[in-house]
Amino acid sequence: QKEVEQDPGPLSVPEGAIVSLNCTYSNSAFQYFMWYRQYSRKGPELLMYTYSSGNKEDGRFTAQVDKSSKYISLFIRDSQPSDSATYLCAMRANPGLAGGTSYGKLTFGQGTILTVHP
Amino acid sequence: ETGVTQSPTHLIKTRGQQVTLRCSSQSGHNTVSWYQQALGQGPQFIFQYYREEENGRGNFPPRFSGLQFPNYSSELNVNALELDDSALYLCASSWEAGDGYTFGSGTRLTVV
């Protein structure tokens, strides 16, 4: 079983739709949570970074973390064609719990390909 | 625009050869990490350097090695290339380990 599972699979939505992306994780040491956006032929770009349970909002994006359920989500409101990209969730352990061999390591989900059509 | 640059952007190598990939981090970023991203997958952690010393390593064999230099540049070296090494190699840097990382656009390595 992978440490981080990301769903849904490829997603196609009309412009203006609300998009929900989700990840579950199994490692209780994960304390820091990120969402990255990756356009084709580009590196991942950090969208959201949070370390506490609850919601964090930034413009059209809301990141939600539920540590008790080991579940994180990213919501995109009023989706635009320019939001079409691969979205990756990523997690990192607390440095005190990470251990010497994985300090700073990000563990990613497999990504969700989002297409927003006009 | 990203402050992390990688070179080359594309590379084709033959199985068994050696390759060196390069990364230039943002000035002041003391931490650099390297990731391997296979097609359709999320990036996998290879290793991390902090102030020129390796301080974290993922499940990659010793033929994957690296260096970090005082001028915020770094290298990823892969010896004895295998077909499965074909992937996008990403460099990421931050002020300190644990900050939000800035990724470069990657080097696409194809092993034939």
DSSP line for B94-109: ESSTTSPPEE---EEE
Single out the residue of B95, B97, B100, B93 nearest to residue B74, CA to CA.
B93
Tell me which chain B residues have a C-beta less than 8 angstroms from the C-beta of A4: 42
Tokens (6 digits) for B103: 């990724």
**Cβ distance B49 to B25 under 8 Å?**
no
Cα dihedral B55, B59, B61, B67 in deg (nearest 10): -30
Measure in Å the smallest separation between the Cα of B59 and chain A Cα atoms: 10
Residue B1 has pLDDT above 50, yes or no: no
- Give the separation between CA A45 and CA A94, rounded to whole angstroms: 22
pLDDT band of A94, cuts 50, 70, 90:
confident
DSSP 8-state assignment for residue A41: T
Contact across the interface for B105 and A45, Cβ inside 8 Å:
no
Q: Which residue has the higher pLDDT, B43 or A41?
A: B43
Q: How far apart are CA A88 and CA A6, in angstroms?
A: 8
pLDDT band at B97 (very low <50, low <70, confident <90, very high): low
- Convert the pLDDT of each residue in B27-70 to its tens digit: 888 889 999 999 999 999 999 998 899 988 999 999 999 999 99
| pLDDT greater than 70 at residue A106 | yes
Residue B39 Cα, gap to closest chain A Cα (Å): 10
Q: pLDDT by residue (tens digit) across B67-84?
A: 999 988 999 999 999 999
